Amino acid sequence: MQAKVPYKVFSGTNSRYLAEKICKSLNCPLGQMNIVYFADGEFSISYEESIRGCHVFLIQSTSPNADNLMELLLMIDAAKRASAKSIIAVIPYFGWARQDRKDKPRVAIGAKLVADLLAVAGINRLITMDLHADQIQGFFNVPVDHLYGSTIFIDEMKTWDLKNPVIATPDVGGTKRANAYAKHLNLPMVICYKLRRKANEVSEMKIIGDVNGMDIILIDDIVDTAGTITKAAELMMSAGSNSVRAVASHAVMSDPATIRINESILTEIIFTDSIPYHKESKKVRIISIADLFADAILRVCNNESISSLYLI
């Protein structure tokens, strides 16, 4: 399938590995862009080819550090000033998404701030995947195509030979996501209830449901320090589970996450390549979302529906 209108794909530094795979799937070259760094860390961005009248797709996950977001903002501004027909931000992992509300007094809503920054910079559309909270779509006044990792995870799960599979969520906040998997696969679901006293630290966890003799599939969107998911796996096994494996969309994997995964009782954990994962672990497996995003890009160019990409 070919696009009916001209389009070009560019990538920020941190997501070039994924952009190259997306361009391979699209059978198009990755656009040429130049980044010049100054001695103090400031940088300047320029396009090395004409983008006038083109749909411009800018691929960049806004994972920490903040340079990735700033790089994307400069890419958007440069494309706007170069007379691009439309500017579509392709953000596989939307950072700051955990700050989607005021959960205590005098805090920022980081997700809304980032949405405003992208809008002011000049995007016409956003393509992203597995936002930490669905309501973040409402922070934008431009169309948002919210893809789901379940589109590729479901096919992977169907290859597993599990006797008594059960879908589980490591926290109550992921109940809706896990329930969608359970309904689609016609499987039972259990929930872990966790209590946090401060960020990235779980102080208490309990299971809601029966896991005795079951093969647990933990579903999550983000794994940061891996404290929650490894503790949930340990709790499931202590309650009589046969095995525990996990799937999660975004491998944030801040230290000591990889050590925790390696030392955990998890059989394996599967991530997408929305964020680069450079560490070594026999329990971590990465599957690509390049074809999913390539398909979405073509459908946007051709004004075609992308609802068929929403498996659950």
Contact 187, 137 (CB under 8 A): no
Q: Which helix (H) or strand (E) holds 95?
A: none
Rounded distance between C-alpha atoms, residue 60 and residue 14, angstroms: 7
Residue of 261, 207, 262, 260 whose CA lies nearest to 238: 207
DSSP tag of 30: B
* CA distances from residue 25 to 2, 21, 34, 232 in whole angstroms, order as listed: 12, 6, 23, 37
Query: Whole-angstrom Cα distance, residue 111 to residue 125?
Result: 16
Element containing residue 291 per DSSP (H, E): helix 290-301
CA of 303: how far to CAs of 4, 118, 134, in Å? 9, 22, 23
Pairing state between β 215-223 and 165-169: parallel
| 176 flagged as catalytic | no
- Quote the tokens at residue 283: 């329990």
Say which of 8, 21, 194, 231 is annotated catalytic: 194
Contact 261, 281 (CB under 8 A): yes
DSSP symbol at 32: P
Distances (CA, A) of 165 to 189, 215, 277, 305: 9, 5, 28, 33
- The set of catalytic residues is 194
